[in-house]
Structure 1
Amino acid sequence: MSATGSAYRRGPFREGDRVQLTDPKGRLHTISLTPGKEFHTHRGHIKHDDLIGAPDGSTITHTSGSEYLALRPLLSDYVMSMPRGAAVVYPKDAGQIVTMADVFPGASVVEAGVGSGALSMSLLRAVGDTGSVHSFERRADFAEIAKANAQAFFGEDHPAWTVTVGDLVESLPSAVEPGTVDRVVLDMLAPWECLEVVADALVPGGVLICYVATATQLSKVAEAMRDFGTFTEPEAFETLLRGWHLEGLAVRPQHRMHGHTGFLITTRRLAPDTTPPVRKRRPGKGYAAQEEGTETEAPQVEPAPGADDAEWTPEALGERTASEKKMRKLTRGVVPPTPR
């Protein structure tokens, strides 16, 4: 029996397949093949019927005489062009999450903050049909768009995926048995609020990885992990991706690059009744330090403007949020693919 979605990733183009067309200038156009339809540009058109039955990697001639390259989009291509209600986790970050969290085939993974489903698809690819990805999303409209995007990419519902609409703190204890989850991925505004339920759900040695957008979030979740006492010393990093221009002898970095998208911070669950080793590096001034059993109180510092937990909103962190009008349009446009 083939893995979920693998039958739709090879062979000739079929009705309902998504196809990525590249024009002579390198511009990309993604279409879904429908008999009788045409892909139009200002210079002419391409018939979908001419692509159905053609092998992957074919070229097709536009009515203007230009040749277009036709390929099935990769997962990285698909997530950048699919319908979205929330900002997606970029492929460069999704790849790091899968690798640095060591998401393996058959793993039990909990994800909070589904968004548009970009990261969910990478996690499903990694755990395979024998694993499980239990995703939690507070917004029902985001969950609906994410499920439709995943179904369109895999060609069917993935058997390893469960989506729960609700708050992680409230829903996780009843959804999984304590100490049974291998990996937890949090893509949310305030991951420090979930550490208790995450610690209860993780197996000893299990990995928690958080994706946050700002340095203020990064600092707060790192200190919360240290203070909680059941996690290893956290590690944080970000990934910057710079493409290169390749044209004859003009081989140089591209002028544009995918710079900062988010920070990743990882830690692991300690065994029960185990305390983390004493840190050799002293914390900076302003935090409570404990040395030789003597507790030193941190100086009282006025909180920075917007530091209150009530201010942790997408808008406060500079994120672009979809309007209600756009969300209604996206939700209406969610149509499950025709089963093949």
Structure 2
Amino acid sequence: MSVSGPFRAGDRVQLTDSKGRHYTLTLADGGEYHTHRGGLAHDDLIGRPEGSVVTSAGGSTYLALRPLLPDYVLSMPRGAQVIYPKDAAQIVMWGDIFPGARVLEAGAGSGALTCSLLRAVGPAGQVHSYEIRDDHAEHAERNVVKFFGEKPANWSLTVADLASHEGEVDRVVLDMLAPWEQLPNVAAHLVPGGVLTVYVATVTQLSRVTESLREQQCWTEPESWETLMRPWHVVGLAVRPDHRMVAHTAFLLTARRLADGTVSPRVSRRPSKGKG
């Protein structure tokens, strides 16, 4: 599977029609993709440069491009709910996932975030993913292999609890129902100064994991937020927010591991209004 240059057999291609609808196919010599407006021969795409326009037998035109990672994530088969691109981007940035990093991921889900982590660490880094459910692990492995064309050599996927992990890591990402239960294990493996990122769906989870981090007293003050993505409609002078937006999907939280024996300076917090 090639990532640039002319299309080749084995490449994934995303076709976009005049209404902005996307269709994804994998090219094969002699293959044909059938649409409601007639067939489209794969051979008409093979050898063409990316960004070409092709025409179906029924006369419909399609723009042909290789799908980006966000396109792939939004269309991938899923077992567990995927981490949306807007949240994955925040995790990579604020979780400081850098080239060469050793990353521990707990809750592989459908493999959406795993693809982003593997891209960010590069071939010199490592991603160790843990998933307690066999069916989710199978989905994750299929999706990661399909995206990269093979199983990355620097990725391990283990069907087990995070507690079974051995060795130091630079970064940790938790996506699970009760992340506070794993904090002692995380603290045991994360290097001093390392970043923990937690992905949770509800306010109750956010509150509990935050207070658990404070009680453990080996973390910096946790920071938490959510990301809302609102597309804009821009046509000439008609510039306005789109009618639909990607609102709440999850809360993200980050904290950094303190050196053993260190007590972080106490953070002064203002009491809520109405409290003495």
TM tier, shorter chain? over 0.9
Aligned match for 1:222, one of 202, 210, 215: 210
Shift of 1:36: 2.8
CA distance in 2, matches of 1:64, 1:25: 16
CA distance in 2, matches of 1:204, 1:276: 13
One-letter code of the match for 2:119?
R
CA distance in 1, matches of 2:159, 2:28: 33
Residue-by-residue CA offset, 1:195-254 (whole Å, 9 max, x unaligned): 000001010011101000011110110000001111111000111111111223322111
Q: Does 1:247 align with 2:235?
A: yes
Secondary structure of the 1:8 match is coil
Contact 2:37 2:59 in 1 (8 A): no
Aligned match for 1:95, one of 89, 110, 115: 89
Alpha carbons of structure 1 residues 129 and 283: separation in structure 2 relative to 1, 3 Å: farther
Secondary structure of the 1:271 match is coil
Contact 1:87 1:115 in 2 (8 A): yes
Gaps of 5+ in 1: 1-6, 286-340
Quick check: which has more Rg, 1 or 2?
A: 1
Residue equivalent to 1:306: none
Q: Which aligned pairs between 1:187-336 and structure 2 lie closer than 5 A?
A: 187-281=175-269
Shift of 1:48: 1.4
Q: Which aligned pairs between 1:1-340 and structure 2 lie closer than 5 A?
A: 8-169=2-163, 171-172=164-165, 176-177=166-167, 180-281=168-269
Shift of 1:35: 2.5
One-letter code of the match for 2:125?
G
Shift of 1:41: 2.1
Alpha carbons of structure 1 residues 284 and 194: separation in structure 2 relative to 1, 3 Å: farther
CA distance in 2, matches of 1:94, 1:8: 24
CA distance in 2, matches of 1:227, 1:284: 21
Contact 1:8 1:155 in 2 (8 A): no
CA distance in 1, matches of 2:116, 2:131: 17
One-letter code of the match for 1:265?
L
Contact 2:37 2:60 in 1 (8 A): no
TM-score, normalized by length of structure 2? 0.95
Secondary structure of the 2:114 match is helix
Secondary structure of the 1:198 match is helix
Shift of 1:64: 2.0
Alpha carbons of structure 1 residues 280 and 149: separation in structure 2 relative to 1, 3 Å: same
Aligned-residue RMSD, C-alpha? 1.5
Shift of 1:284: 6.8
Contact 1:21 1:30 in 2 (8 A): yes
CA distance in 2, matches of 1:53, 1:25: 26
CA distance in 2, matches of 1:214, 1:262: 7
Secondary structure of the 2:142 match is helix
Shift of 1:61: 0.8
CA distance in 2, matches of 1:230, 1:283: 24
Contact 2:111 2:143 in 1 (8 A): yes
Alpha carbons of structure 1 residues 127 and 247: separation in structure 2 relative to 1, 3 Å: same
Contact 1:134 1:162 in 2 (8 A): yes
One-letter code of the match for 1:261?
T
CA distance in 2, matches of 1:211, 1:134: 17
| Greater mean alpha carbon deviation, residues 29-38 or residues 256-265 | 29-38
| Greater mean alpha carbon deviation, residues 12-21 or residues 103-112 | 12-21
Alpha carbons of structure 1 residues 282 and 257: separation in structure 2 relative to 1, 3 Å: closer
Identity of aligned residues (%): 63
Gaps of 5+ in 2: none
Q: How many correspondences in the alignment?
A: 273
